[in-house]
Structure 1
Amino acid sequence: MAGTDSSKKLDLRAAPVVVLCEPQLGENIGTAIRAMANFGLWELRLVNPREGWPNEKAAAASTKATHVLERVQVFERVEEAIADLSLVYATTARKRDMFKPVIGPDEAGNKMFAHISAGQKAGLLFGRERWGLNNDEVVLCDAIVTLPVEEAFASLNIAQAVLVLAYEWRRASRAGEGLPFDLEAGVPASKEDVVRMFEHLESSLAAGGFFTVPEKRASMVHNLRTMLTRANFNAQEVRTFRGVISALERKHRRKS
């Protein structure tokens, strides 16, 4: 989905911190960074990345999300990476043998927004590519966030998981702001113009012999009008449609 507008200024609002625990591949870090940047997350913390940091593969995969890359912090332990956060969610697809609230990504987005709006800091903890988080790490978190994935194929790529949670954060934090753009619907057609369009079409169809059974004409007209009403024509579309009818009429007259 292309569409980056480089003329726009980045809006680095307060947002959740993303913590990746012992990520193995630079490419996965980079694509996670790209997912973060897509939805307004900009603070990434890495716990013991296997290939070290900085990482050229991560930079390449991040697709120029330099505002995230430049702020990456590296820690040796999860406890250090989340020390300043007062709300942390562990992301996992596996059931744990512990009492820990389990919530979905939509609820996580809403709760993080409320927490951050109150001036607090929140974060999302993601596990290793191969086996996720261990119980010692999960127990440090306030709740588990899990997705309604197919149980027989539940493993997500890190970037995919980050993308889902980042989207839910964006949805919650930008509620009421609408989408970044909307296509203009044009000036609505008046009912008078719509009725004239109907009559023009029906007159042309009658001249062409469409209504072959007179007693069925009324129901056929009703069906046509119902079908065309669903299109919700604007004023320009009515003019275009009538132009099409007129063009067909002229062609028919020339043949006659």
Structure 2
Amino acid sequence: MIQPAFILVRPQMGENIGGAARAMWNFGLDRMRVVAPRDGWPNQKAVAMASGAGRLLDEAGLYPTTADAVGDTVHVYATTARSRDLTKPVFTPEAAMKDARDRIARGERVAVLFGPERAGLENDDIARANAIISVPVNPDFPSLNLAQCVLLTAYEWRRATEAVEAVAMEMAGTEAATHVEIEKLAAHYEERLSEAGFFFPEAKAEGMKRTLRNLWSRMPLTRADVQILHGILRQIVRWKERGE
């Protein structure tokens, strides 16, 4: 899928440019544009910080002004934490990247502006944008590091364009136990507990067995779990028999 261009406007520190490149590539984004970097271009500190994402810096477009950087785009978002005297729709990063996904699917070229570390985007930059992205941060400390802002936005792009399970179970080489396996485990414990006189008094025995079986059925057991629980019980029985 075509991606949005991430445009770093007048970035000041090479380390932050490199950190932004890493953040982009973490989430599969590689269309970086850089506008008038303070310390020139290429920047060795950016290269060092980018680590495995150095390709983004090699292929990044270098532009003299924000107007040049957004010239071929159709829809532009500007990231800012401050209220401005400009009337524009304001998106969260999540909503913005969903909107960007839909616009790109319709054939639009999309870009996101990120401002310099010291004060963020200027009003002249924001005036060129169609919408604002505002991160819901602590109002008493709204300033985000450049690479952090890029990371948040790139993460939301990934969420908007990739089917990712919200929760997944890592099975670590095993698989879920079947009902038959859990039934055999329940029967094993019931048998040994009966021999130990656990189900007492007799009038309550059936209810206790039912409660125990319900306990097993509620547990998300793997086959490895079942084997361990069988082994624990066998070892306890052997230990008791040796003690006798």
Give the TM-score normalised by structure 2. 0.89
Q: Helix, strand or coil: the match of 2:78?
A: strand
The answer as to whether partners of 2:91 and 2:133 remain within 8 angstroms in 1 is yes
Q: Distance in 1 between matches of 2:169 and 2:108?
A: 31
The answer as to whether partners of 1:197 and 1:242 remain within 8 angstroms in 2 is yes
1:97 aligns with 2:82: no
Q: Which residue identity lines up with residue 135 of structure 1 in the other structure? A: N
Equivalent residue for 1:115? 103
Q: Distance in 1 between matches of 2:209 and 2:193?
A: 10
Q: Which residue identity lines up with residue 32 of structure 1 in the other structure? A: A
Identity of aligned residues (%): 39
1:240 aligns with 2:228: yes
What CA RMSD, in Å, does the superposition of the two structures yield over aligned residues?
2.5
Equivalent residue for 1:254? 242
Deviation of 1:133 after TM superposition, in Å, equals 0.9
Equivalent residue for 1:9? none
The answer as to whether partners of 1:47 and 1:77 remain within 8 angstroms in 2 is yes
Equivalent residue for 1:19? 7
Deviation of 1:221 after TM superposition, in Å, equals 3.7
**After superposition, what is the alpha-carbon deviation per residue over 1:28-63, rounded to whole angstroms, capped at 9, x for unaligned?**
111100000011111111111111111111111111
Q: Structure 1 residues 217 and 152, CA, compared in 2 at 3 Å: closer, same or farther?
A: farther
The answer as to whether partners of 2:14 and 2:45 remain within 8 angstroms in 1 is yes
Where do residues 1-256 of structure 1 align in structure 2 (5 Å cutoff)?
Answer: 13-175=1-163, 183=171, 186-211=174-199, 213-256=201-244
Q: Which residue identity lines up with residue 46 of structure 2 in the other structure? A: A
Q: Which sections of structure 1, spanning at least 5 residues, go unmatched?
A: 1-12
Equivalenced residue count is: 244
Deviation of 1:64 after TM superposition, in Å, equals 2.0
The answer as to whether partners of 1:101 and 1:144 remain within 8 angstroms in 2 is yes
Give the TM-score normalised by structure 1. 0.85
The worse-fitting range, judged by mean Cα deviation, of 90-99 and 214-223 is 214-223
Q: Helix, strand or coil: the match of 1:46?
A: strand
Q: Helix, strand or coil: the match of 1:90?
A: strand
Deviation of 1:244 after TM superposition, in Å, equals 2.0
Q: Which sections of structure 2, spanning at least 5 residues, go unmatched?
A: none
The answer as to whether partners of 1:185 and 1:234 remain within 8 angstroms in 2 is no
Q: Which residue identity lines up with residue 144 of structure 1 in the other structure? A: I
Deviation of 1:73 after TM superposition, in Å, equals 1.8
